[in-house]
Structure 1
Amino acid sequence: MDVQNDPFKKMYPLQKPQEKPSTGLEIVTPKEFKLFYKAMCDYRNGLWKEYANVFWFLYMTGTRISEALSITFKDFDGKFIHINKQYFQKLKSWQTPKTKNSIRKIAIDQKTIDIIKEQYDKYSVMPRFDDSWFIFGGLKQLEPESLRRSKNIICDQLNINRFKIHSLRHSHVSNLIEAGINPYKISKRLGHSSIQITLDIYGHLLDTDERDILNAISDF
């Protein structure tokens, strides 16, 4: 599957952190994810294309699975995704996020915008459609377990590790850190209650080479 305006071209090659393996963070590299996404798109002539779109969304936004599956077309303004509530299938009810920082807007790339438009085109022709429908699932929210099963099948098909869905959030952060994004901006994007939480989880991925600091103070 050809991907126009491929955002991965802007990313540096990634490696799993070696200095602190005890952190247990599982990282899916852009190369691995592109293979995974294409294989899921192609599976049985597109049977799981919508599932593939969910995984793309998770990888490119860093949202939690509960957030991504709760987003409706009403929450998309053309450039940003607005996260202000979550729908829980088991409870059949909407609830506000746990912390005020979880209520946020997330900028999305053109490919992800195109995917949302693709989802809109799919569901907007159905009877009784309105913008309160879920972007992924339509009238009814998708089940996370169905996504997990499909993920494992594709991983086995590609002979790659069965990564956890939440690892896509870690991978998103790793990509941003590799690209030099400020940790404060990353924390806001993730919806963490404080930057300290972000640093506690991902601090070991930050560059510890202080040559840039020495260069900055060398003219004092």
Structure 2
Amino acid sequence: QILKRYHFALKTFLSHHCYEGTVSFLPAQHTVGSPRDGKPCRAGCFVCRQSKQQLEEEQKKALYGLGDTEEMEEWQVVCGKFLAINATNMSCACPRSPRGLSPAAHLGDGSCDLILIRKCSRFNFLRFLVRHRNQDDQFDFTFVEVYRVKRFHFTSKHAEGEDGDLQERAKQRFGPLCSDSPACCRSAAKSSWNCDGEILHSPAIEVR
């Protein structure tokens, strides 16, 4: 099964499709770490403990109206063409990627690391993939962005009819921010999502 996944990944690399849309996310402000701080998650992890405590305090304040609710927090928006969008709440280390997709991701901090790979040449994309097999920082490319988030949306510019509600909500909330971005107004291929081996055919997605 794992071998089949890597064969699929090779086909994806060779096809070199990019997908156009809008990524919007809420930064995980309660966390005490960052995706590039080089602090891996361990048993009894300090980052997870501290982040969990801060998240619980944040939720209590919101419950009693003493702090900002999620709706009042500032969403960040990224528009453009992407070769890949990855989200992980653990490092996802394996023999082919010893440090994982996001080496400093934490399993118990109430967040996930959102990795955006923008459109680039096939050679540069290969350089990014090769970095996962060594000790170099795989996020140290101009076309790669990584954020620690607690919620995110992806809305394709060519979402199908069944995604109309999600697309309309995103348009109402983020439309003005993306209206000036030419990258969000051109045609692109459709895609699907791979959730731990399960294929989600809807191009639009909401994760929290």
Superposition TM-score, scaled by structure 2 size: 0.26
Relative to total residues, which structure has the larger strand share, 1 or 2?
2
Superposition TM-score, scaled by structure 1 size: 0.25
Relative to total residues, which structure has the larger helix share, 1 or 2?
1
